[in-house]
Amino acid sequence: MTHRTLLTVAAAALVTLAGVLPAQAEGRYDFKVPFAFTASGKAFAAGEYLLNVNNEPEAVTLEAKDPKAGRVLLAVETRISERKPLSEPEVVFDKLDGKYLISELLVPGTDGYVLLVTKANHTHERVNGIHTKK
């Protein structure tokens, strides 16, 4: 094969492969959380937060808009299919013994991210956000 033919075949393979791979969440998700909560063992006050999906390694970064509050990396436990059509992203908190623990990031049009599995009996609290592209 000539160099030009090889490049053409490689480009065609990439286009074909891109068509069969699932879409990745892109950008950041902004949320205003009206209560104090815990993420990866770190306490956060009520306020405005950003959740950024990192594909390598598969994790979600939680970052306060107030730089003094800090940020934390949340490992993705597993992915879950969209349970209902969403028009905006949602962050789900597990409420256990009066405390809120960040547990899921649900994104419109793609699988969601499970960030914490709580085995004890608990309830859920959902907070809607907005998707801001990078």
Contact 90, 100 (CB under 8 A): no
> How many whole angstroms separate alpha carbon 118 and alpha carbon 100?
11
> How many whole angstroms separate alpha carbon 132 and alpha carbon 134?
7
Give mean pLDDT, residues 75-93. Answer: 91
* Long-range pairs, 10-19, Cβ under 8 A, ≥24: none
Chain centroid to CA 21: 18
Give mean pLDDT, residues 119-123. Answer: 94
134 pLDDT band, cuts 50/70/90, is low
> How many whole angstroms separate alpha carbon 104 and alpha carbon 102?
6
31 vs 21, which has greater pLDDT? 31
Encode pLDDT of 72-82 as tens digits: 999 999 999 88
Contact 60, 49 (CB under 8 A): no
Encode pLDDT of 22-65 as tens digits: 334 456 899 999 999 999 999 999 999 999 998 877 899 999 99
pTM of this structure? 0.76
- The domains of the chain are located at 23-132
Mean pLDDT across the chain, nearest whole number? 82
Nearest to 48 by CA among 30, 25, 24, 27: 30
